[in-house]
Amino acid sequence: MDQVEIFKALSNKTRLQILGWLKEPELNFPEQPNADFENVGVCVGQIQLKSGLSQSTISEYLSILQRAELISSTRVGQWTYYKRNKEGLEKLSEIIHKAL
């Protein structure tokens, strides 16, 4: 896990919001039908709607967060779902406690 990539990923307001939304998906995405937030996550389309940004921008933001290992994705049919990566967030916490 590259510390610089992690902090770059966190340096954007919308990417921070996405992580916050994914922390409590049942509250932030109640309109997602047949939601399995625990195992599958939140559909990229729901994240895009909530953000109000273009699909390409949200896809790029999600890719950045995923490369930083802060979120993970699951493909179901033609849709991609995202959720927080608990292990990646724990590593981030360790980095902060040990290095900063």
Q: What's the average pLDDT block by block, 10 residues per block, for the chain (100 residues)?
A: 90 97 95 87 96 97 97 95 96 89
Say if CB 72 and CB 82 are below 8 A apart: yes
For the chain, which domains are there?
A: 3-88 (1.10.10.10)
- Look up residue 38 and give its two tokens: 């625990």
- In what order do the strands lie in the sheet containing 42-43? 42-43, 79-84, 71-76
